[in-house]
Amino acid sequence: MIDPEVRPKRYLGPMALVGLMGIISALFTFLFMIIVNRGIALVWEQAALTIGLDPRLFTLLICTVGGLLVGLLIKLVLVIYRSSRPYLSALGRVPGVPGAYTSLERHPENIPAPCVLILRLDSPMIYYNAVTVRDQVKAMVAAAQPRPQAVILDAAVQNQVDVTSAEVLRGMVKKMQGKGIAVHMADLHAPVVQFAQRVGIIGLVDEDRSFPTVDAAVHAAERLVAKE
């Protein structure tokens, strides 16, 4: 279940701000060029007259288009930067809502599963952030109190996987299992499973540890913990 706090409209403000910054920066760039170099100004005016536009309107049009391009470039850089440092959250049960799990940090009233650590990424694990994700998981497992006997990885955002991230994931799972921690996968999508089988990454997908939902994985992990 997706955290209700995460909504597409939360990004509209930052996107609008980035676009505005791009337009302003491009406008100042063009104006600086025109003011500093009269020759550029003459060429600019001639280009505007050639296509039948008022130079001021032409400047505004070019600045707007240039600003939008700069804004899109800045947005692309921000998206890459953020996806290279994905946010990893520990989940807990939402009181009064069966089967719902959201961030314990954002919702301290949530109920953590005893001896079970539920982890969810806010963006996919891919080759350029795989090591960062591994280190975050390792740190959260080490900091969890009491020590988790089972870890659930919510793969809802993972629509595909590459060789690098699959190998890092496999190594991470093996290390946790070596420490006596059972690893469960929740909402593992078919393309991920098919890729793991196609490239022969043995141990990444274990059928008796893969579940369609986080809630199903939690119940299985709790039964496993109770036996121990």
Is the domain of 65 the same as that of 126?
Answer: no
- pTM for the whole thing? 0.69
Is the domain of 135 the same as that of 61?
Answer: no
Work out how many domains the chain is built from and give that number: 2
Is the domain of 41 the same as that of 79?
Answer: yes
Range of the domain at 79: 8-84
pLDDT (0 to 100) of residue 12 = 47
Who wins on pLDDT, 189 or 50? 189
Q: Examine the pLDDT at 5 and tell me if it is beyond 70.
A: no
Where among 44, 64, 84 does a domain terminate?
84
Lowest mean pLDDT among 75-84, 101-110, 128-137: 75-84
pLDDT (0 to 100) of residue 10 = 46
Is the domain of 32 the same as that of 68?
Answer: yes
pLDDT (0 to 100) of residue 35 = 53
187 and 150 Cβ atoms separated by less than 8 Å: no
Is the domain of 40 the same as that of 58?
Answer: yes
Where among 84, 109, 128 does a domain terminate?
84
- Indicate the pLDDT class of residue 104, thresholds 50, 70 and 90: very high
Who wins on pLDDT, 200 or 215? 215
**pLDDT tens profile 6-58:** 444 444 455 555 555 555 655 555 555 555 455 555 565 666 667 666 656 66
